[in-house]
Amino acid sequence: MLQDPLTAIALGALLGLRHATDSDHVVAVTAIVSRERSLGRAAGVGALWGIGHTLTLLVVGGAIVTFRLVIPPRVGLALEFGVALMLVVLGFTNLRARDDAPRAAVRPFLVGLVHGLAGSAAVSLLVLATIRGTFDALIYLFVFGLGTIIGMMAVTMLLAAPTLFAGARVTRFRSGIRVAAGALSIAFGLMLARELIVDGGLFAAVPTWAPR
């Protein structure tokens, strides 16, 4: 256990940056950002995703840290299953030729909210294992969230840059990337759902869940 809260909080910022590169996060934002036409808008997608993720992390994770709540395995699996369903829906949405602008604007925020719900338990357990004080633990969650926002902005810009560069020259290439990103999101969501149902036993009598 880390005895120095400042050291643990600094670690939280670094882990937040790394957290943005988790595979399910990257797949989700790839599907969203493949529709954007500028690096600024791509960065905005990452920021909205990170804000949504941080909001649920602070609310749910904060409750877990403050009240020392225990997440039942079935609930943890169900939250991750929500991410799997979201990835499938996001993928099918990406296969559509057109997108509704108001919905497109709020989509990364909602996706971040869902990811934040699924990840709150794991992050909070890490906090409880490294920091004793509740206040310091809450600060850790906040800094972790800020790191995630910055990290996701960087990730979305990196993902968008090749698409924008090529799309400016070949319009069909942009459409192909959008479709490929949608198909990837569907495939990843189905694989995650299978893992949670078969390996985790989501609907079994005794489910098995390890926060990650």
Q: What is the pLDDT of residues 28-51, one digit of tens each?
A: 988 888 777 788 888 999 999 999
Question: Token pair for residue 194?
Answer: 């299978």
Q: What is the pLDDT of residues 155-170, one digit of tens each?
A: 999 888 876 666 555 5
- What pLDDT does 98 receive? 64
Please give the Cα distance from 171 to 167 (Å, whole number): 5
Percent residues over pLDDT 90 in the chain: 39
Q: Would you say how long the chain is, in residues?
A: 212
- What pLDDT does 152 receive? 94
Q: What is the pLDDT of residues 123-180, one digit of tens each?
A: 877 777 777 788 888 888 898 999 999 999 999 998 888 766 665 555 566 777 888 8
Q: What backbone torsions phi and psi does residue 201 show, to the nearest 5 degrees?
A: 70, 45
Domain boundaries, the chain: 5-199
pTM listed for this prediction: 0.87
The whole-chain average pLDDT of the chain stands at 84
